[in-house]
Chain A
């Protein structure tokens, strides 16, 4: 690690170099989401080449997507050890290396490791580090900057035809080599993640506390407050985790089943893909608008989040009523608007509820729960379809999930009141010390 001398900032930048961080986060979104989408193309190629079943080949994609979330806590740990820039570069190397080694693949299990495990781990590193550094650089404009970065997902539609062209020109081995080289661009982009230090009063306080020997009333105060701190943190974390998990589950199901549902309603595939592209564009735009609105701070961010979740749930519950193309289009647009709204706010609300210094671990845990949702979502949705033989069941399920997750957000005021009572106790303790 380089020895650097930095002048700590007095307050969050909310701009300046922060936009470079947003740019990096944008690129991460493009590549990480693009990987998942281009995998569908490679799926067909791998199945043909290695003569595997759909289930076996599908595992590669599942491992890649779910590991991106599951590795969240690991990323938090490694970031503590090495620092953000290194962790992000490590992630980029993992992804690029995974792709490069995959070009020598000889069987599907081989690919599960090199194209599922390695890129999945790498993208977890990339994504989480980028998100956390963005929260460090932005406070007032956090929602807007996150939304702009997430709009990178909208660009991924370019990656699919590009990958097809690569496969046509160089066959899948050459295509993987070149894609690996292209993802290497995330290494210089990771170097844009300049560490930023917010100057705080904490330095002197920390030294005082550590030098105090635990004895007498001060000790009781100290342990009690730290104990309560933990409980309160767990309570907030719990609500966030569940909130993170259920929308994650509910998000994938309508997306997965949209085209299939359109087909069962007799809409042809061209119109159905039109639906998907409209959904993508609307979601991107809605994310940016929602981010900007949330940053204006007219009301607390989690209220927006709550209302978006409720609206998403209601939309999904009404979805089975959409039986013609115009109605389905209406549903798609409204769902895209509301889900874009809540997606943009996941990170800011998480930051609001967690406090800056613990964002890493929070994000890690939240990602872990989201990973469970990602892993269980599509098979669950498929099972629902097989069981009910229609797609309406899955829409009811996802609607219910959204509504349930918004419920946990209603407990936030309660948790905050608890926290405030604890902090007043702490204030009393510090008075005792002084």
Chain B
């Protein structure tokens, strides 16, 4: 049953759909729109389990309420029923109900107000997002690594891992072997442990979380480096340090050759002189006395 801009009449809610799935949870979401929106009226709804979803759009038209045409669309397909239109004061309400039981009911639902200048509100029904890792994981050849995919507040039914080769995704762990071990302490995370890394293991790994309402995926990028990479950099820097040391030693030898032995014969061995200078000062009352004067500065 559809009402075309009849403001006051309210229709009875269709009971059949809701009684069939009355054991499901009810999720209500609403968007309010004005004549001149400065923000796109869009709402993202995350659904994990089958539930009854109630989408409400409210619109405050500037002109006459009666002249406003209300329609609902799923994607591009026009929806014929399951919605009602209501008006209270100067605000126009429209509500759409749907029982989401599998992935076919997921997607984008939009409410439209008006004919020529259409105001649109969109509800995006999605499965929960999976977090892989944004930055690539750096590992070295021969190491083992654990790739983790997590879901914030959701409990997927199952997890699967794929390795990406361009656009083709190849499942991992189908022939169960030692190299790949899939585990997960809690239901909301999955861990893929890869041992004996080699450079072929480099690439993108996809984790798929399977829900009743669809699939969601996250990705982790793995980079495998050979030990030579940092080692080369290390050797370069170490060589530079050795060069600097050599330069300084040569410089010191050069300046040594220039120095003449002093006349009073104060050629003292390094260690001995150090002992004299750095000693505790208790025995040397002489220099202490002299230096005390300089303390007064």
Contact = CB atoms under 8 A, between A and B. Distances in A.
Interface of A: 1-8, 79-80, 83, 139, 168-171, 173-174, 177-178, 180-182, 184-185, 187-188, 191-192, 194-195, 197-203, 205-206, 209-210, 225-226, 229-230, 297, 300, 352-353, 355-358, 360-361, 416, 419-420, 423, 426-427
B295 A357 contact: no
Contacts of A171: 138-140, 225
A177 B234 contact: yes
B286 interface: yes
A229 B283 CA distance: 10
B295 A184 contact: no
Interface string B234-251: 100110010011011100
A79 B247 CA distance: 25
Top 4 A-B residue pairs of the complex, sorted by shortest distance between their CB atoms: A205-B286, A174-B230, A202-B287, A181-B237
Nearest to A103: B230
A174 B288 CA distance: 51
Interface stretch (B60-68, B80-88, B187-195, B266-274): B266-274
B285 A205 contact: yes
A7 B267 CA distance: 7
B229 A170 contact: yes
A235 to B, nearest CB: 14
Contacts of A353: 295
B54 to A, nearest CB: 37
Contacts of B294: 139
27 contacts: A1-B270, A5-B261, A6-B270, A7-B262, A83-B270, A170-B138, A170-B233, A174-B230, A177-B231, A178-B234, A184-B237, A185-B244, A188-B244, A191-B249, A198-B277, A200-B286, A201-B286, A202-B286, A202-B290, A206-B284, A226-B283, A352-B297, A355-B292, A356-B291, A358-B280, A423-B289, A423-B292
Contacts of B259: 5, 7
Contacts of A4: 256, 269-270
A288 B262 CA distance: 38
Centre residue among B229, B241, B262, B297 by max chain A CB count within 10 A? B241
A318 to B, nearest CB: 34
B273 to A, nearest CB: 5
Nearest to A204: B286
Contacts of A139: 294
Given A7-B266, A187-B241, A300-B297, 19 more contacts: A6-B270, A8-B273, A170-B138, A174-B140, A174-B230, A178-B234, A188-B245, A191-B245, A191-B248, A191-B249, A195-B270, A197-B268, A202-B286, A226-B283, A229-B282, A355-B291, A355-B292, A419-B292, A426-B285
Centre residue among B225, B276, B283, B285 by max chain A CB count within 10 A? B285
B191 to A, nearest CB: 13
Contacts of B284: 202, 205-206, 357
Nearest to A430: B285
Contact of A197 (B237, B244, B277, B283): B277
Interface in B77-112: none
A181 B234 contact: yes
Nearest to A357: B281
B165 interface: no
Contact of A80 (B247, B278, B282, B291): B278
Contact of B276 (A191, A202, A209, A420): A202
Contacts of B279: 357
Interface residues of B, number: 53
B287 A358 contact: no
Contacts, number: 155
A360 B277 CA distance: 11
B20 interface: no
Contacts of B282: 226, 229-230
**Secondary structure class of chain A's binding surface, majority of residues:** helix
Interface of B: 135, 138-140, 225, 229-231, 233-234, 237-238, 241, 244-245, 247-249, 252, 256, 259, 261-262, 266-271, 273-292, 294-297
A184 to B, nearest CB: 5
Given A171-B139, A191-B245, A423-B292, A177 B270 contact: no
A1 B234 CA distance: 29
A352 B248 CA distance: 33
A198 B273 CA distance: 10
B21 to A, nearest CB: 44
B183 to A, nearest CB: 15
A80 B231 CA distance: 37
A166 B262 CA distance: 52
Nearest to B137: A171
Contacts of A169: 138
Contacts of A205: 284-287
Contacts of B292: 355, 419-420, 423
Nearest to B238: A181
Nearest to A80: B278
A15 B55 CA distance: 80
Contact of B140 (A6, A173, A199, A209): A173
Nearest to B231: A177
A349 to B, nearest CB: 11
A431 B281 CA distance: 20
A185 B236 CA distance: 12
A5 B267 contact: yes
Nearest to A84: B274
Contacts of A420: 292
Nearest to B251: A191
Nearest to B230: A174
A139 B275 CA distance: 21
A192 B285 CA distance: 31
Contacts of A170: 138, 225, 229-230, 233
Contacts of B234: 177-178, 180-181
Nearest to B274: A83
A423 B289 CA distance: 7
A427 to B, nearest CB: 8
